Chain A
Amino acid sequence: MRKPSTSLGLRAIALFAFILVALPLLSIFIRTPWSELGNIASQKTTRDALFISLETSVIAAIVAALLGVPLSWMLARSTARGTSLVRTICIVPMVLPPVVGGIALLTAFGRRGVFGRFLYDWWGVSLPFTRTAIVIAQVFVALPFLVLAVESAFRQLDTGLEDAARTMGASPLRVFLRVALPGARGSIVAGIALAWARSLGEFGASITFAGSFPGKTQTLPMAVYELVATDYRASLVMSLILVVISVGVIATMRDRWMTGAQR
């Protein structure tokens, strides 16, 4: 087999980069108190946090898909002025410090917030510090990841197929549902998985907007953070759970993210 020709210097840099990422992850595996794993994992705090994390992140991924896929389609196909601005605003949460996202959500949807006051005054709905608030925070943070993946896939689709569908009398909605969605299916699945993984790991926006109340709004990352000071071994076990899930998602979806719309 032919060996790729790469310089020794480049290989050394690549190896260093790999170690920088892999070593901390490996350290969690090494330091995890394996003998207490079952005991810690079955504690109420851990079980509650894991359940809340799974429940909210799955709902957030579904909401992100229901909102994000049509948004991605509009961004990919719209020629209207301002599309670029809308795209920029939609992906801002990706680079925004999550805690700032939480402040923004609190300012918008807090009980005395810009919009939240109407929710509270008119319908008595108060969003902050509820499980719904976690979902909103997760969608806010995860949506850009889904939109970037799916919009790129829609852009790569052959518009000739959409034209063909239109000549056959297909409405714009039918073109979207029956031609574009199946064409981008692989990337949509990958985008949802990415949004779910991002939601599962969400911390800054959630803790600011929803608080960290055990059994109510405390997700796994929040529990890890709170236990670092008091019960480091428990926080290690919870971290291990998150690492295993993350590695699983990446391993399953790696090919789809690498190849875009083709899969």
Chain B
Amino acid sequence: MSLELHGTVHRGDFQRHVDVTADNGEVVAIVGANGSGKSTVIHTIAGLAALADGSLIVNDTPWDVPANNQWVSPEQRGCGVVFQDVRLFPHLNAVQNVMFGLRSGGVKRNDALERAMETLSEVDAHAFALRTPASLSGGERQRVALARALVMKPRVLLLDEPFSAVDERSHADFLQLLPRIVRETGAIALMVTHDHSDVSAIASRVVGL
């Protein structure tokens, strides 16, 4: 598993050249000031924004090479994304949110439910599986969002400030959990963070913007 992003990311009038490289089982931290384009990098890798030029190659597959008109849609990329603004579906409860991607991939309801509950347990969120996002605290929502991204066993895990609202104990738990999952699944994790202790705790590589 490898990821190579060399090119210009853009959103609206904002443009920036970035170089991001990641290998099997790595957690890569993306750091930088506000407005430096960290979230745009996450969106570009997820397929929600396109490169202006350059290339994004994952496992030798060109996901986005504008010069050759090569493009893989976000539905086909299979990235697990934890968005900065969480983006849980408000009309679904926690476990239904986690099941959403599995059901989209054709997993049967009962199997999806079982896997979703397992993943919620892994992030210590099973206690509020039946509650809707509106009734959860910021930290609880982030746990559910993390479970929703992890349940798909993604090849590329994209985390945009995933721990900004969780309490200290959970934060410490996640810092142990994340590298373990990435190692076990052979995935790549790219994590936007402002927290230098996160970087030194789990990142094997740092990209500064």
Contact = CB atoms under 8 A, between A and B. Distances in A.
A182 B80 CA distance: 23
B83 A168 contact: no
Interface of B: 46-48, 73-81, 83, 85, 87, 89-91, 100-101, 104-105, 148, 152
B78 A166 contact: no
A54 to B, nearest CB: 31
14 contacts: A163-B46, A164-B83, A166-B73, A166-B74, A167-B46, A168-B100, A168-B101, A169-B105, A171-B104, A178-B100, A179-B89, A182-B91, A183-B90, A183-B91
Which of A158, A163, A168, A178 has most chain B Cβ within 10 Å? A168
A167 B74 contact: yes
B129 to A, nearest CB: 18
B81 A164 contact: yes
Contact of B100 (A158, A160, A165, A183): A165
Tell me if B's interface is mostly helix, strand, loop or mixed. Answer: mixed
Contact of A164 (B73, B87, B105): B87
Given A165-B100, A169-B104, A178-B100, A160 B75 contact: no
Given A160-B85, A161-B87, A167 B104 contact: no
Given A160-B87, A179-B89, A171 B75 contact: yes
A79 to B, nearest CB: 14
Interface in A150-197: 158, 160-161, 163-171, 174, 178-179, 182-183, 185
Contact of B104 (A161, A165, A182): A165
Contacts of B87: 158, 160-161, 163-164
B75 A161 contact: no
B77 A167 contact: yes
